[in-house]
Amino acid sequence: MNSEFEKMINGELYNSIDPDLVNKRLKVRDLAMRFNALSPFDLDKKRELMKQIFINSKNIDTAYFEPNIRVEYGENITFGKDFYMNFDCMLLDVAPIEIGDSVMFGPRVIVATPMHPLLAEERIIQQYPNGYYNIEYAKKIVIGNNVWVASNVTICGGVTIGDNAIIASGAVVTKDVPPNVLVGGVPAKVIRELNKSDRMNVWEVYSNEKGWI
């Protein structure tokens, strides 16, 4: 029989107050609190704590997290190279959260995989002879490469966001997002495709300003 953790990862119904799961959450909350309390100059200590929080991500050395960070388990999150997360973000990794290369999060982004039964009698905590049960499930979230998630965005469980997409401030993403588009609103919808007219010639302007070319 699968453990509650295995059920959780597989998107099956599971008991969220299973003692092993509660212990995992408490340990990572302690690590996150220690990270959030560090001076911004304590980069080595921050990186060491990041390695303990995001134990299954291989790109810690190119990632940067502003405080405060909030995660559910940490071990169910992976991110690519050059990941940046701004202030006060929350990653609820009950199911896996997969983040690609060169992704940027603005302040107060929420990535939430947990799901709950719709009927109250199935959603509330129940007591049985062998303990308490709070049944829920979760859906995986995938964020592609080069995605910019602006401030105060909520990304809901089961969503996949395509490469190069931009999620506008305040959006609530409930459905998959195609690559190379700007989406916004509640619920988020495609506003338009990104195209050559959006080009700002950033590197040409900056290189000229610096005298590189």
List pLDDT tens digits, range 76-114. 999 999 999 999 999 999 999 999 999 999 999 999 999
Q: What is the token pair recorded at 88?
A: 């006060």
What sign results for the dihedral spanned by CA atoms 212, 202, 146, 36?
Answer: positive
Q: Residue 213: what pLDDT?
A: 61
Give the pLDDT confidence score for residue 134 in this predicted structure: 96
Residues of the chain with pLDDT under 50: none
Distance separating the N- and C-terminal Cα atoms of the chain: 64
Rounded-to-integer distance, Cα 150 and Cα 168, Å: 5
Given the residues 27, 116, 139, 189, the one annotated as active site = 116
CA distances to 149, 161, 188, 193 from 196, rounded to whole Å, are 20, 21, 23, 10
Domain tally, the chain? 1
Q: Cβ–Cβ contacts within 10 Å for residue 143, how many?
A: 26
CB 26 within 8 A of CB 45: no
Domain that residue 159 falls in: 4-210
The CATH number of residue 105's host domain is 2.160.10.10
Active site residue 22: no
Residue 75: strand pairing partners: none
